[in-house]
């Protein structure tokens, strides 16, 4: 039987509609809309596209977006000064620095500098610590999107074996913590994992966050499993996920396509995080 295709565009539209409603209620109560600032260093075309997409989505949700583009040569001290200024700005509820940044800048220094309450990407040590501790905080957007898709599709989570392929700070690691919090038994795989195909075949939930086009093959998938493809790979044949979609869809119980799967959820949860951050900040001052 063919897999149920989890439609990420529809799921993201639902999240964005919920956020828009929440933004209207926030504005009615506090007399201002949540503010989201995107900082970009340099003019990388992909970053440009992502930043424009985030600003447009924030505007559509009724937020106040702001884009700041700094020259490629910007030094750490200059960027720190800007972050400090935005940390102190009451109109700013969320900010993010588009990654990757030029070599002279340090991603860990940036993650440490942004105030944890405004770190809507959820990459700061404080927010990652909160995630590990199970405390409220900003949780990285893409893994949150995957969880929402699993919940909406009613994929059984309690006691399920989840295999997360990839251990990055922005996807694999936080994904594994979120699955664990939902009582999955979690295995995190990476480039040194032995016999990845056999391991994947034991997964009830298989999350691929690798960055290698179509690496996960149909015969790596346990019949009936939920296959969540985070990968976004630009190939000569167009955009491809980390999962060989057609093969895997024949075996899986649920599957996310690329494009139109997990991708749209990332921006949706950036907006959700910004609204949550605005509420936390407003709650702290009223
Ligand atoms: P990283 O490059 O930071 O991490 C990739 C992970 O995959 C690493 O842990 C690496 O292992 C592992 N890996 C690499 N090769 C293999 C292999 N042959 N077998 C098993 N594991 C392997 O990538 P990201 O986590 O940032 O992104 C992963 C993918 O998700 C990319 O395609 C990216 O474009 C996409 N992405 C999509 C988003 C969305 O909005 N949908 C958001 C963020 C990312 P090791 O640690 O050992 O090197």
Instruction: Give the pLDDT confidence of 97-138 residue by residue, as tens digits.
Output: 999 999 999 999 999 999 999 999 999 999 999 999 999 999
Beta-carbon contacts of residue 234 (< 8 Å; ≥ 6 apart): none
CATH code of the region 30-115: 3.40.50.10860
Ramachandran angles phi, psi of 74, nearest 5°: -55, 135
Report angle CA 278, 31, 98 to the nearest 5 degrees.
35
Ligand 1 neighbour 266 (Cβ under 6 A): yes
- Catalytic site residue 173? no
| For ligand 1, atom 30: residue with the closest CA | 231
| For ligand 1, atom 22: residue with the closest CA | 191
Choose which residue among 51, 168, 207 to substitute to test ligand 1 binding: the one with the highest number of ligand atoms within 8 A of its C-beta: 168
pTM: 0.97
**Max CA pair span of the chain:** 57
Element (H, E) at 175: helix 172-181
Ligand 1 neighbour 102 (Cβ under 6 A): no
pLDDT at site 283: 84
Choose which residue among 12, 148, 196, 210 to substitute to test ligand 1 binding: the one with the highest number of ligand atoms within 8 A of its C-beta: 210
- Catalytic site residue 121? yes
Beta-strand relationship, 161-165 and 205-208: parallel
β-partners of residue 68 are 39
- Domain 30-115 and domain 141-263, same fold? Reply is yes
- Catalytic site residue 103? no
| For ligand 1, atom 24: residue with the closest CA | 168
Of 180, 188, 178, 225, the C-alpha closest to 210 is 188
pLDDT at site 286: 56
Choose which residue among 149, 174, 189, 190 to substitute to test ligand 1 binding: the one with the highest number of ligand atoms within 8 A of its C-beta: 190
Q: Which atom of ligand 1 is nearest to 265's Cα?
A: 40
Q: Which of 121, 204, 229, 242 is labelled catalytic?
A: 121
Taking 50 as the pLDDT cut, the residues of the chain under it are: none
Second CATH level (architecture) for the domain 141-263? 3-Layer(aba) Sandwich (3.40)
pLDDT at site 285: 62
Domain boundaries, given as residue ranges, for the chain: 30-115, 141-263
């Amino acid at each position: 039987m063919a897999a149920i295709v989890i439609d990420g565009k529809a799921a993201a539209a639902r999240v964005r509609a919920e956020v828009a409603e929440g933004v209207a209620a926030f504005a009615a109560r506090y007399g201002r809309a949540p503010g989201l600032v995107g900082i970009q260093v340099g003019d990388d075309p992909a970053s440009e596209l992502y930043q424009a997409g985030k600003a447009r989505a924030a505007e559509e949700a009724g937020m106040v977006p702001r884009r700041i583009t700094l020259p490629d040569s910007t030094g750490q001290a200059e960027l720190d000064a800007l972050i400090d200024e935005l940390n102190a700005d009451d109109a700013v509820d969320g900010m993010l620095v588009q990654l990757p940044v030029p070599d002279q800048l340090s991603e860990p220094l940036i993650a440490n500098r942004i105030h944890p309450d405004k770190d809507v990407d959820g990459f700061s040590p404080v927010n990652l610590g909160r995630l590990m501790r199970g405390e409220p905080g900003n949780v990285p957007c893409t893994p949150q999107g995957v969880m929402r898709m699993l919940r909406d599709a009613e994929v059984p989570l309690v006691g399920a074996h989840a295999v997360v392929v990839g251990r990055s700070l922005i996807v694999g690691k936080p994904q594994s913590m979120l699955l664990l919090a939902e009582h999955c038994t979690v295995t995190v795989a990476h480039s040194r994992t032995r016999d990845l195909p056999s391991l994947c075949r034991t997964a009830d939930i298989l999350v691929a966050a690798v960055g290698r086009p179509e690496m996960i093959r149909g015969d790596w998938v346990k019949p009936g499993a939920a296959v969540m493809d985070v990968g976004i790979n630009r190939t000569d044949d167009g955009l491809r996920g980390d999962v060989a979609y057609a093969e895997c869809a024949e075996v899986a119980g649920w599957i996310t396509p690329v494009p139109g799967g997990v991708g749209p959820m990332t921006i949706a949860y950036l907006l959700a995080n910004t609204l949550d951050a605005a509420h936390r900040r407003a709650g702290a001052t009223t």
